[in-house]
Amino acid sequence: MEQERRLPDWFKVKFPGGENYARIKNQMRTYKLNTVCEEAACPNIAECWGRGTATFMILGDTCTRACSYCNVKTGKPLGLDLGEPMRVAKTVQEMDLKYIVVTSVDRDDLEDGGSGIFAMTIKQIREFTPGIHVEVLIPDFNGDEAALRTVLAQRPDVLSHNIESVRRVFRKVRPRGDYDLSLDLLRRAKEIQPESANKSGMMLGLGETKPEVLQTMEDLRESNVELLTIGQYLRPTKGHHPVIRFYHPDEFKALEEEGLRIGFKHVAAGPLVRSSYHAEEQQRAAVGRELATV
């Protein structure tokens, strides 16, 4: 029998507000842009927007898949907005950012999965803001290597793709995804573009066991993933997958330490950690550790 679970005492987030928050929200509306911060109901929106950072979500606001944990709306997308990369680039320039994360909905309706828009967006951002660091959080592109190469040709500083859950739970929460396909995408990305750091993320509380979490971490390392985020799954609505368990901050700390022990260059683990949370710190850690080994 499913039970509603109350948030533990350690879940405390700042209510959205402040000058930077209002400014960023206004810019998003002005340029008709979407952010995963809003669409996925991220608990860190107040902190990140208050610091003047945001994760842009391109290719519209409608996803062609229906993952049971995700708050982004699903359905049939309406066409393709070729002006979106330019609008993202202008917004990034106006925000005077040094690090930007670009993600997207799944667009299985497009032949290239939206990889062309990803590439255009990276290119436009760098043309408007030279020297900026760009991280992309991509879908699996249904395993299409040509689509992956299209994105990597623009040399993003970080190529991220979230595994999200352990093998046993994966199909239940991502029925149109494939655990091994995601691992293979991450492995090939590093082979195609070694200069880009590889990154992935997991959510806990979907019904996994600790040994399964540790095995998934090992699987990611075997796929040459260097950066990892681990956070607590929070149920967006009663229609989404229930929270099976809340993990204590000490458990996240132990997973962070284990991740570093098995070879990740940086691990961000905590109840409120999300895939783009403090992304610039992870990228700096990856570069710093790489330089330190030369």
State whether CATH 3.20.20.70 applies to domain 19-292.
Answer: yes
**Model pTM score:** 0.85
Give Dmax (Cα) for the chain: 55
Domain parsing of the chain, residue ranges: 19-292
The SS3 assignment for 193 reads coil
Each residue's pLDDT tens digit in the chain (294 positions)? 344 567 777 766 555 555 555 666 666 666 556 655 555 555 555 555 555 566 888 998 899 998 988 888 889 998 899 999 999 999 888 877 778 899 999 999 999 999 999 999 999 999 999 989 999 999 999 999 999 999 999 999 999 999 999 999 999 999 999 999 999 999 999 999 999 999 999 999 999 999 999 999 999 999 999 999 999 998 888 889 999 999 999 999 999 999 999 999 999 999 988 776 666 667 776 776 543 332
CA-based nearest residue to 147, from 172, 181, 176: 181
Q: Rounded to an integer, what distance in angstroms lies between the CA atom of residue 1 and that of residue 87?
A: 47
CA distance 58 to 107: 10
| Residue labelled with tokens 């929070």 | 234
Name the token pair of 181. Answer: 């396909």
